[in-house]
């Protein structure tokens, strides 16, 4: 029994060591790290595979064993990625999942509310706004783009809110007389661990700097009026970023201005702790490889009230977005040049956690 327990503890330590290797190797190479459960599964499977190979050899040098484990982990990773790509290619009609709200819990900030839904989860809910009629569609596109690029952003959802539920929560709906309103929401199944202005209570995650570079590329592409500010959540004892708002993309949701604008970006590299154009390159390549058709399919499946039913304006926005993707490297070069002049530094703030 004691020998079995000691062996289990050794297997656990070996698994943890290989999970740590994955964190370092994947993140330094620009690859997306799988979630915790998948990392443990990959490491455990690789170790068991190596143990099955050992009896077939008279002697398995440590160097060969290490490379065998690494190869087994990478094989599982690439198999998972290939399967995901096939699934994405088969699903050419992406749409947002919908759920019914059960209760407004409380106000969050900036016009956002927490709501409990019938699926048992809590959501961060954004309501349609008369003064910014394109806001929800803008944010939905921002979330879709960020997730397609591999940034840590929550899945956007449609939350249906009844007028009775809104009234009970003390919310006056912009569209009077409607029985239900379609809201944009993201699942809130994590705990924020510090506010933007404060110091993190935990050390920053290893991928923080890399993810901030990805956020810069999204903001450049979508012509954000201000830098996307991440929230932080605890993960493996570190403060990991999560991007839970894209309210400033398309020049604060002003689509007409976005289509006609030739303004310089209002953001600067210092806002994202960027020092070299090379930090943006891997993210630019991901944008260039995006499934454009998927974006168009998603956009035209959004509730029409999220863009005031302006279908022609939506087509113009998507066409302009295609053009910006084609010229993204030039836009990024212009963006990095803004850092030399400190342009618009009064509207940009840099994170102090990396």
Q: Please tell me the distance from the alpha carbon of residue 18 to that of residue 39, in angstroms, as a whole number.
A: 9
On average, the pLDDT of the chain sits at 80
| Residue 27's pLDDT band (cuts 50, 70, 90) | low
| Residue 57's pLDDT band (cuts 50, 70, 90) | confident
* Per-residue pLDDT at 195: 42
- Which DSSP letter does residue 301 get? T
* Per-residue pLDDT at 12: 66
Residue 244 pLDDT more than 60?
A: yes
| Residue 266's pLDDT band (cuts 50, 70, 90) | low
List the one residue out of 21, 4, 29 whose CA is nearest residue 72: 21
Bigger pLDDT: 93 or 186?
A: 186
| Residue 134's pLDDT band (cuts 50, 70, 90) | very high
In 10 A of CB 177, how many CB atoms? 6
Output the CA torsion sign for 230, 234, 235, 239. positive
Bigger pLDDT: 195 or 56?
A: 56
Domain positions in the chain are 2-79, 98-347
Contact 270, 339 (CB under 8 A): yes
* Per-residue pLDDT at 276: 83
User: Residue 182 is encoded by which pair of tokens?
Assistant: 């379609």
Query: What SS3 class is residue 6?
Result: helix
Contact 96, 156 (CB under 8 A): yes
- Crossing angle, helix 328-341 and helix 278-288, to 10 degrees? 150
- Crossing angle, helix 328-341 and helix 311-326, to 10 degrees? 80
Q: Please tell me the distance from the alpha carbon of residue 223 to that of residue 157, in angstroms, as a whole number.
A: 23
* Per-residue pLDDT at 40: 86
Mean pLDDT of 171-184: 72
Instruction: List, in sequence order, every beta strand (DSSP E) within the chain.
Output: 98-107, 112-117, 122-126, 156-162, 180-187, 231-235, 238-242
Mean pLDDT of 269-294: 86
Q: What Å distances lie between residue 52 and 5, 9, 12, 48, 176, CA to CA?
A: 20, 19, 18, 6, 67
The partner residues of 159 in beta bridges, in order of sequence, read 99, 183
In 10 A of CB 153, how many CB atoms? 27
Mean pLDDT of 332-352: 56
Quickly count helices (H) and strands (E) in the chain: 12, 7
- Crossing angle, helix 62-90 and helix 2-28, to 10 degrees? 60
Residue 146 pLDDT more than 90?
A: yes
In this structure, the strands spanning 98-107 and 156-162 are parallel
Q: Please tell me the distance from the alpha carbon of residue 267 to that of residue 248, in angstroms, as a whole number.
A: 11
| Residue 348's pLDDT band (cuts 50, 70, 90) | very low
Q: Please tell me the distance from the alpha carbon of residue 289 to that of residue 244, in angstroms, as a whole number.
A: 23
Residue 221 pLDDT more than 80?
A: yes
Bigger pLDDT: 199 or 312?
A: 312
């Amino acid at each position: 029994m004691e020998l079995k327990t000691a062996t289990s503890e050794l297997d656990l330590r070996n698994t943890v060591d290989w999970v740590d290797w994955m964190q370092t190797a994947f993140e330094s190479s620009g690859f997306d790290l799988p979630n915790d459960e998948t990392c443990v599964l990959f490491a455990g499977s690789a170790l068991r595979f190596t143990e099955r190979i050992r009896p077939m050899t008279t002697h398995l040098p440590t160097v060969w064993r290490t490379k065998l484990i690494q190869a087994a982990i990478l094989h599982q990773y690439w198999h998972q990625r290939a399967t995901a790509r096939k699934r994405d290619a088969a699903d050419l009609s992406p749409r947002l999942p919908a759920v019914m709200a059960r209760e407004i819990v409380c106000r969050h900030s900036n016009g956002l509310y927490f709501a409990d839904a019938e699926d048992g989860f809590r959501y961060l809910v954004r309501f349609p706004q008369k003064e910014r009629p394109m806001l929800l569609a803008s944010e939905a596109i921002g979330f879709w783009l960020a997730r397609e690029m591999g940034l840590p952003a929550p899945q956007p959802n449609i939350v249906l809110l009844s007028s009775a539920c809104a009234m009970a929560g003390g919310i006056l709906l912009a569209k009077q007389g409607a029985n239900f309103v379609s809201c944009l929401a993201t699942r809130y199944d994590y705990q924020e661990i510090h506010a933007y202005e404060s110091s993190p209570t935990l050390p920053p995650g290893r991928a923080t700097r890399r993810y901030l570079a990805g956020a810069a590329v999204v903001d450049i592409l979508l012509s954000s009026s201000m830098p996307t500010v991440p929230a932080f959540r605890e993960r493996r004892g570190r403060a990991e970023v999560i991007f839970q708002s894209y309210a400033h993309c398309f020049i604060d949701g002003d689509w007409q201005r976005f289509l006609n604008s030739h303004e310089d970006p209002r953001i600067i590299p210092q806002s994202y702790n960027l020092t070299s154009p090379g930090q943006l390159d891997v993210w630019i390549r991901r944008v260039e490889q995006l499934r454009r058709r998927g974006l168009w399919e998603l956009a035209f499946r959004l509730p029409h009230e999220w863009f005031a039913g302006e279908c022609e304006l939506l087509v113009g926005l998507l066409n302009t977005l295609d053009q910006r993707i084609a010229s993204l490297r030039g836009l990024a070069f212009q963006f990095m040049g803004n850092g030399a002049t400190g342009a618009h530094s009064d509207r940009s703030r840099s994170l102090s956690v990396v």
